[in-house]
Amino acid sequence: MGDRMCAKVMMALATIMLPIVIVFMAVSFATDYWLVYTVDRTILRASDNALYTSSATNLADGKYSHTRRNGLFRTCYPGNDTQFLDGAANLLDQHCFHLSYDMPQSTSSYTENYITRIHLIRCWLAFFILALVAFLTAFVFGLILICVIRHKARWAYFASLFSFIAAFSCAASIAFFHGAEYMEKNKISDASAHFPFTWTAPLTNATARSYGYSYILGWVGAVMAGLTASFYAIAGCHFDDSSYERKEPVAKDVYVQPENGYYPSGYNYGYSGYGGQEMYAQQPYMVQQPRYLPVTYGDPYWSAK
């Protein structure tokens, strides 16, 4: 496979993957299936009937003892057993709560681990936004690469760079998500936060944690963004810009052997020395023929012998 063919194949693969990655990242960013808590209410009632009873109607207890799913922006309770939400303020779509990442006005009542978790979640959000912006920029450079004729390698490298930034930012955002999750499971002891580290044993046994499709799409988007960046980088290496340059004729000296006699102007036809006209006529002479060279910056080079 020639360099140009390899470059075109890599560019085609990257162009196909561009909209797919954007969709995956956007869906992961906007949906609420990053972390899913499934609470078996039957097990909870058998092991901790008091919590089971109070959580049925009490909002503070019901928030962490019912099946729910968490995203970047909100927590939702999809089940039918949600009487504790009746009368709750600031509900979204009748069964969701907005997640706020604002720093508490008074941090003295919260542990340092709780504040660290807020910073980690903010980084999770910020790096995911950076990943989306970077990959949209790579998408624009990819479209330019399709449309232009000259300097394709340059645009391929630009698209590759921003795709790499998007892949790194998306992976970093997921890493920050895991950091916040680790703090909730193992470090934060604030009783008012109701994180898994402070749960009772019956509630812990009745709750199963899993990652939803939003989390999976985030990883898939990061991996595909890295592949897209690699494809663009390979295409840039194989693009030969000189083959796409506009060409114009440049004189080239060649030597030919005449079949018939050739006499330069001003030749002394009266000269009858050794060989005479016939000897001169048989010598090769130099003519100029046009050749094609890529036109770059400055004047084209004219060779002269």
Torsion, Cα of 190, 191, 194, 198 (10° steps): 90
Q: Is the pLDDT of residue 136 over 90?
A: yes
Q: Give 116's pLDDT tier (boundaries 50, 70, 90).
A: very high
Region of poorest pLDDT, from 85-99, 120-134, 171-185: 85-99
Of the pLDDT bands very low, low, confident and very high (cuts 50, 70, 90), residue 305 is very low
**Each residue of 52-67: b (16+ CB within 10 Å) or e?**
beebbeeeebbbbbbb
Minimal CA–CA distance to 64: which of 237, 220, 188, 226?
A: 188
Q: 256-301 pLDDT, tens per residue?
A: 555 555 555 555 555 555 555 555 455 555 555 555 555 555 555 5
Structure tokens of 96?
């969701």
The answer on pLDDT for 245 being more than 50 is no
209 neighbors 150 (Cβ within 8 angstroms): no
DSSP class of residue 297?
A: S
What residue segments make up the domains of the chain, in order of their start?
1-103+112-243
What single-letter DSSP state applies at residue 106?
-
Candidates 3.40.50.720, 1.10.357.10, 3.40.50.10800, 1.20.140.150; correct CATH number of 1-103+112-243?
Answer: 1.20.140.150
What's the rounded Cα separation, in Å, for the pair 231 and 145?
A: 13
- The CA-to-CA distance between both ends of the chain, in Å, stands at 38
Burial annotation 135-167 (CB, 10 A radius, 16+ → b, else e): bebbbebbeebeeeeeebbbbbbbbbbbbbbbb
- Per residue in 190-214, pLDDT tens? 877 788 888 889 999 999 999 999 9
Residues 6 or more apart whose Cβ sits within 8 Å of residue 234 = 6, 7, 10
Location of structure tokens 């999976």: 216
For 6, counting Cβ atoms within 10 Å of its Cβ (0-12 exposed, 13-18 middle, 19+ buried), the class is: middle
Structural contact between residues 124 and 173, judged by C-beta atoms closer than 8 angstroms: yes
Distance CA 64, CA 160 (A): 44
Q: What is the pTM of this model?
A: 0.74
